[in-house]
A and B are shown apart, each in its own frame.
Chain A
């Protein structure tokens, strides 16, 4: 009799143990992936950044030397950083503002919304190499359709990819072609804004532009914040388009920071130095994202807060 009770208890215990373990088993793929493909590499790259670490051969601890060389002796660091910042100053505002414009246009009751949504989202479907090769041919100095069309308007187009004054702009335009993703995110945001707000404003005679400024943008601001931060991140990680379209040229006018890291790692095989580069990029993105997040309390409007003020008004 008593052994049976003990057996029951053991079974109970086992059952409870399995119950407790189950959730961890379900999430274990991500936990393992995080350890092997994120945390491990992060720690590893941090350690590497203090080493002279060629792919083959002796590894030597050099302390802060990689960081010091990068910041004080390698002009390419500052040049590529500056190019990335310039790119971001064009790309981030245009990506968000044009994405918003498209989303607002598509949120009107227009015929063929589905058609237009598909058109604007198409380039995001066909990204990468295909997208870049399309643009290389469009930009062609001699045979490109872009300069032909500009010529029809009486403008003499520049040698887009061959002229250092225009090459960065060319990459900005090609990148902006993929703003369908931003548009889609903002569109879902727009559709969740209560229609009554607009109707009330319309009845009170509020003009369309004011409805945009005082209703749409505040109500959409959490989504705008999200797109601003993801745009900053993608601006800094910009690599594929530049690598394929210009290879960093002409005269290093499109030599992005991500390309600097890529070259140091896979062209010069200076893995330790490249690891230090990537940590600097990480810190810059983190700092920028934090700044945007901090500033957001001034311009991002959460519905929860709105309800509070409404309650106060009552």
Chain B
């Protein structure tokens, strides 16, 4: 009885979560006639695969793609490098003010971005970074608090004896970080990389605020350009949406065994 109820609820809820995806895909491959038919067409007579190419070439999406890739790749490298360094510093050293600084780090997670948004804009403006990709890349090299916290918890689960043995063999702190801990925290780094990738890939407000020229636009901004004042190009929006979903889906597919793996969950709790 409860068994049946559980499955019933799960199936019903997953339908609610899947229908929107299905609907987007089917919208992307319809012809104009079917698009505006009511009752809606649930499977088009002829699947218009060419809609993807048409949408892609309506705007310079190759340029947007290049910009998005630059931002995502460079900022992910920065995030992985800086967060792992900082996390190692907090997890493996005793130093003056460490606990106070760590509390400070945790508390920054609670500051709404609105408070920083305007002064950051002015700061980047003074640096001459507005209308460049720099505001979307450079801050990633200065360690996000949430990721530092996650990686620190992970490092804490590694026995300190490993570090001590390496030190006996003459390794310095940098070598312990680089040769021992970086490889050991690979699963957690995959998780951080995935989270950051998704955030950067899907970011809309950052590009919206900092970029002006179309030649600097990222994919998300290009996608929003299909929403015209008078008419909205639904087929193109759906097609580009489907294309935009592919990289995160592939990444999620490969990363999910790390993400869903209980070991990270338990290490986060410390």
Contact = CB atoms under 8 A, between A and B. Distances in A.
Contacts of B232: 136
Contacts of B88: 26
B84 to A, nearest CB: 10
A41 B234 contact: no
Interface in B18-37: 18-21, 23-24, 27, 35-37
Interface residues of B, number: 86
Contacts of B141: 29, 33
A138 B38 contact: no
B118 A275 contact: yes
Contacts of A135: 20
Contacts of A289: 110
A275 B119 contact: yes
A208 interface: yes
B252 A36 contact: no
Given A29-B143, A240-B205, A130 B17 contact: no
Contacts of A258: 114
Interface stretch (B46-54, B157-165, B258-266): B258-266
B260 A117 contact: yes
A279 B265 contact: no
A45 interface: yes
- Chain A interface mostly: helix
Contacts of B143: 29-30, 33
Given A42-B115, A127-B198, A130-B241, A30 B266 contact: no
B116 A22 contact: no
Interface string B172-211: 0100010000000000000000000010001111000100
A129 B24 CA distance: 13
Contacts of B114: 237, 258, 261, 277-278, 281-282
A110 B10 contact: yes
B57 interface: no
A125 B244 CA distance: 11
A17 interface: no
A30 B115 contact: no
B40 A191 contact: no
A105 B10 contact: yes
- Chain B interface mostly: helix
B103 interface: no
A108 B6 CA distance: 8
B131 interface: no
B174 to A, nearest CB: 8
Nearest to B17: A119
Nearest to B20: A134
A30 B145 contact: yes
A24 B209 CA distance: 34
B269 to A, nearest CB: 7
Interface residues of A, number: 81
A90 B36 CA distance: 33
Contacts of A145: 19, 23, 40
Given A26-B177, A123-B17, A188-B265, A129 B204 contact: yes
Contacts of B66: none
A261 B205 CA distance: 13
B59 interface: no
A87 to B, nearest CB: 15
A108 B204 CA distance: 37
A244 interface: yes
A257 B266 CA distance: 37
B205 A24 contact: no
Interface string A74-104: 0000000000000000000000000001100
Given A133-B241, A137-B234, A143-B35, A26 B86 contact: yes
A278 B112 contact: yes
B198 A125 contact: yes
Interface in A270-299: 271, 274-275, 277-279, 281-282, 285-286, 289
10 contacts: A20-B95, A29-B85, A34-B142, A41-B120, A48-B119, A122-B252, A125-B198, A127-B198, A177-B20, A274-B118
Given A110-B7, A116-B14, A244-B227, 10 more contacts: A27-B101, A129-B244, A130-B220, A130-B241, A133-B24, A142-B36, A143-B37, A261-B114, A262-B117, A278-B118
